[in-house]
Amino acid sequence: MTRGEKLLRDTMLYGVAHFGSKILAFLAIPLYTHYFTTKEYGTWDIYQVTIALLIPFITFELTAATYRWLIEETDHEKRQVIITTGAFSIIRQMIVFNIAASLFIYFIKIPYSWLTLVIINLEILNSFLQQCARALGHHLLFATIGFIQTFTMIASLLTFMYLYHFRLEAFFYATIIAGVVILIITALALNVRKYIIHSSYSQRKKKSFLKYSLPIIPAAASWWLMTMSDRYFITLFLTVEANGIFAIANKVPAIILMLNTIFFLAWKDNAILEYEAIDKDDYYSNVFKHFFRMMTTSIICLILLAKPIIKLVIASNFYDAWQYTGILLVGSLFHTFSLFWTAGYHGAKSTKNIFSTSIVGAIVNIVVNLLFIKIIGLYAVALSTVVAFLAVWILRIRSSEKHFNIQLPIRDIIVLFPLVIIAIIMSFIFSEINILLAAFISGIIFLLYNRGIILFVIKEGWGKVRR
């Protein structure tokens, strides 16, 4: 099996299981938008992004370090050292945080604060166990628990919504139930007790972990500023209702990020394992060429389909969200390109470059928001995402040269980038019939550019069905 075939097969494995969970989440959106107000949905979105910000500072990104060391290790006793050291270090961090958070919550009353604290703890533990499962090669387990978690979350949420008529608290209860279920399933399936041995804890290993992970903390915070802090700008300078509309506008770009997540899980594994190969630059460049074609042609299709989709499935009070999806999709495109380079940095164990480039992107995001949000509203927020991730991608291209050198597909860039801009313009000026016709043509372009990958996937899928 060639490296390219292995990458595609790993991607298909993650994709089959992940796709189900993402489809379930996407199909549930119309139910949310018809039940919750824009203010309620916007408020829940604020809690989500706050949790995402806090976790890297609580864990010191030791989960990422545990995964990085574990993926290359095959000896059982050394695996015990890695997992035990990571687990004990993270639990120690969690204890300190919980004490501090409990005191804060006791003196400063914030709605749903105790429920938020429970969710944070569950997300940290689940993330650690899932990354251990992935690094140990339990790819099917890693992918399947994502589907189970989403299914449990949606089933619980719908029960609280339509049977008990809960409002915002339904999100918190459903998230906690799903988190507990997944924690139990993962711990049992992984048989975590055989990997966590008190005597295997290594202070030296922890120092190595921290050297690797500490630069990721500000990088994660910067990443948060580029992807999630927009909600705070919207709430501060506009309204919570506007944040609800923006949250829905981000659901279409979430489709492309879903596809990228599936690929990135496989790509990160392969990029790390192939980093020492003599021809890694050629391998990385070839993979990026196909990745660029797949992502860019997908973006063109989604830009044209966003308006009809939102009109069809989303409640009317959220309809204005379509205006921002095209710009946000372009931001998501540059986001995926930035992440592609991230895998190479993890292969090189050079997280400092991730940190420095992310900081620049965060600054750009904040500046664009502050300069334009009062002038052009949500368009400024969407535009800040595009400019920030474009800056990060360009900086990573430049700074990666001493570790690896990815050749850009210049011909594809010249052809496809103008088509992206044309698609955005068409969504504003064309009727829905003409937009759907253009979407059909973009679908043909997608098939032509990605026919090799599509044929391989069909061949592999048919082979598995026959077997």
Q: pLDDT digits over 370-404, tens only?
A: 888 888 888 888 898 899 889 989 998 888 877 78
Residue 418's pLDDT is 93
Residue 292's pLDDT is 92
Q: Is the pTM of this model over 0.75?
A: no
Task: Answer whether 420's CB lies under 8 Å from 300's CB.
Answer: yes
Q: pLDDT digits over 127-150, tens only?
A: 899 888 888 878 778 777 877 888
Q: How confident is the model at residue 17 (pLDDT cuts 50, 70, 90)?
A: low
Q: Where are the domains of the chain?
A: 62-213, 215-461
Residue 16, pLDDT > 70, answer no
Residue 319, pLDDT > 80, answer no
Q: Which segments of 154-277 are extended strands (E)? A: none
Q: How confident is the model at residue 18 (pLDDT cuts 50, 70, 90)?
A: low
Residue 414, pLDDT > 90, answer yes
Q: What is the C-alpha separation between 119 and 125, in angstroms, rounded?
A: 10
Q: What is the C-alpha separation between 326 and 379, in angstroms, rounded?
A: 10
Query: 94 versus 43: which is more confidently predicted?
Result: 94
Residue 467's pLDDT is 59
Answer positive or negative: Cα dihedral of 37, 41, 42, 44: positive
Place of tokens 């919570």: 240
Q: What is the C-alpha separation between 209 and 382, in angstroms, rounded?
A: 36
What average pLDDT score do residues 353-376 get?
A: 84
* Least confident span in 1-15, 41-55, 341-355: 1-15
8-state DSSP, 199 = G
Task: Give the count of beta carbons closer than 10 Å to the beta carbon of residue 334.
Answer: 21
Amino acid identity, position 356: S
8-state DSSP, 168 = T
Q: What is the C-alpha separation between 106 and 117, in angstroms, rounded?
A: 12
Amino acid identity, position 4: G
Task: Answer whether 406's CB lies under 8 Å from 288's CB.
Answer: yes
Rounded to whole angstroms, the maximal C-alpha distance in the chain is: 68
Answer positive or negative: Cα dihedral of 396, 402, 404, 408: positive
Task: Answer whether 46's CB lies under 8 Å from 231's CB.
Answer: yes
Q: pLDDT digits over 85-105, tens only?
A: 988 999 999 999 999 999 998
Q: How confident is the model at residue 27 (pLDDT cuts 50, 70, 90)?
A: low
Instruction: Round the average pLDDT of the chain to a whole number and report it.
Output: 81
Q: pLDDT digits over 50-70, tens only?
A: 888 788 888 888 888 888 888
